[in-house]
Amino acid sequence: MMQGKHIVIGITGSIAAYKAATLVRLFVKAGAEVRVIMTPAAKEFISPLTLATLSQAPVISEFFDKADGQWHSHVDLGLWADAFIIAPASASTIAKCSYGVADNMLITSYLSTRAKVYIAPAMDLDMFAHPTTQENLQRLQERGCIIISPQEGFLASKLIGKGRMEEPEEIFRRVSESLSGEKRLLGKRVIVTSGPTHEKIDPVRFVGNYSSGKMGTALAQALHEEGAEVIFITGPASVMPSDKEVSQLIKVTSALEMEAAVRSCFDAETDATIFCAAVADYRVASPEGDKVKRERKEVWNLELIANPDIAAGIGAIKQSHQKMIGFALETEEGTSYALDKMKRKNLDAIILNSMAHEGAGFGVDTNKVSVLEADGKRHDLPLMSKTDVAKEIVRILF
Ligand code: PMT
């Protein structure tokens, strides 16, 4: 599947540079054409000759080849690449990529590439955890680079292990998976609930919330990209997927309607259900048939009654092969509330997002979530676009 693919591997000055040799070998063995670019510091750690031998091509490091006077274009390799990998990526190179400091061949090629960029950081733990490095990684990720690191979410506050480089076999797997365009979820059927629900007060008023449908839509799109058949059940949201991205788009208004829709779609063929909707917990006990006039009431007390818990209802009847994923929207950190919800609703995982974080939750294009799995695993993701959050959720849980 790598046959004929053009892979650029950039190597920087890190003790992990020796692992790049294995990475080059894995791609060559899989049939890819590999070109290696080394930073000057990388040559202190591994010999260009080794890499030239393994890649079966000259290694490029300088703009100008002193031996034969040849000028190496600083953009050619960037444009040639189908995938551009920097492994190991030192703190210095990460900072240069982040700020566009084009003072060596690797950075100029990085700045000119149109290929997907994969960055495998490798450095001392304190350097990795430093806010500057973390901010630089976050900037690169926001620009579409894929950070491949054994540290989940690479957040300094949650570091597990060291700032070590991911193993070459794992880097190879991640890059080839994304290059092959292989659709991992072909044949899987997933129900996604999204948006708010509106609970009627009278014909012109409702009780609702601020959900825009952006997070649910991003999930539907991420699942669709991986080949899943998506049944999308949405409340009155401003954002929803196109007809092409889902196999069914069911529009509902209230929590009771959403519950009926989920129950009618959920059956033994359902592989997973993601409850991303912000379902109103209460509805108006007796909605008025006619518009209530201002003159009629000086004080208007509404009686609210609890809506059914849709996720808990499905959680109670699901079979072991069916994955259930919920969301928890909290106004504070909220881990214990989220874990409690996961247990009560019999979910396999819950995505915790908090209104306490800027750029997270309702309405915005970004989110900052923690993925909590029933087996105790926890993945803290940095602030990212909802599109990238959705891709990460799909990558981690499917
Ligand atoms: O739509 P956006 O503007 O992009 O915003 C996205 C979001 C903030 C709405 C989304 O990321 C999110 O957090 N959705 C769940 C919000 C919520 O209702 O959380 P909760 O903690 O109240 O509910 C917990 C879980 O139970 C959720 O999976 C919810 O869908 C489900 N639930 C809740 C109540 C109910 N009656 N039935 C349910 O199924």
Q: Average pLDDT, stretch 173-194?
A: 91
Query: CB-hemisphere CA count at 13 Å for 349?
Result: 21
Known binding residues for CTP are: 281, 291, 327, 341, 345
CA–CA separation, 22 and 167 (whole Å) = 9
CA–CA separation, 78 and 106 (whole Å) = 9
Q: Is the pLDDT of residue 75 over 60?
A: yes
Please count the residues of the chain. Answer: 398
pLDDT band at residue 162 under the 50/70/90 scheme? low
The two three-digit tokens of residue 242, written as one number: 């196109």
Q: Average pLDDT, stretch 246-258?
A: 98
CA of 276 to the centre of ligand 1 (A): 5
Q: At what angle do helices 91-99 and 131-142 cross, to 10 degrees?
A: 50
Can you give the pLDDT at residue 159?
46
CA of 155 to the centre of ligand 1 (A): 25
The region of weakest confidence among 151-165, 232-246, 281-295, 303-317 is: 151-165
List, in order, residues 6 or more apart from 365 with CB less than 8 Å away.
Answer: 214, 385, 386
Q: Is the pLDDT of residue 68 over 70?
A: no
Q: Kind and range of the H or E element at 117?
A: strand 116-121
Q: Is the pLDDT of residue 232 over 90?
A: yes
Q: Average pLDDT, stretch 148-157?
A: 61
Can you give the pLDDT at residue 48?
96
The region of weakest confidence among 8-12, 65-69, 263-267, 310-314 is: 65-69
Ligand 1 pocket by C-beta < 6 Å: which residues? 193, 211-216, 255, 275-279, 281, 307, 309-311, 326-329, 341, 353, 361-363
List, in order, residues 6 or more apart from 358 with CB less than 8 Å away.
Answer: none
Can you give the pLDDT at residue 163?
75
Which is more confident, 75 or 353? 353
Nearest CA, atom 24, ligand 1:
328
Can you give the pLDDT at residue 177?
85
Task: Determine contact, residues 71/64, Cβ cutoff 8 Å.
Answer: yes
Of 84, 103, 148, 104, nearest to 122 by C-alpha is 148
pLDDT band at residue 148 under the 50/70/90 scheme? very high
Tell me the per-residue pLDDT of 18-42, one tens digit each, with 9 for 90 and over: 999 999 999 999 999 999 999 999 9
Q: Average pLDDT, stretch 322-346?
A: 96
CA angle 10, 12, 17 (to 5 degrees): 95
What is the chain's alpha carbon radius of gyration, rounded to the nearest angstrom? 25
Q: How many CB atoms lie within 10 A of CB 348?
A: 18
Q: CA-CA distances (angstroms) from residue 26 to 32, 172, 307?
A: 9, 7, 55
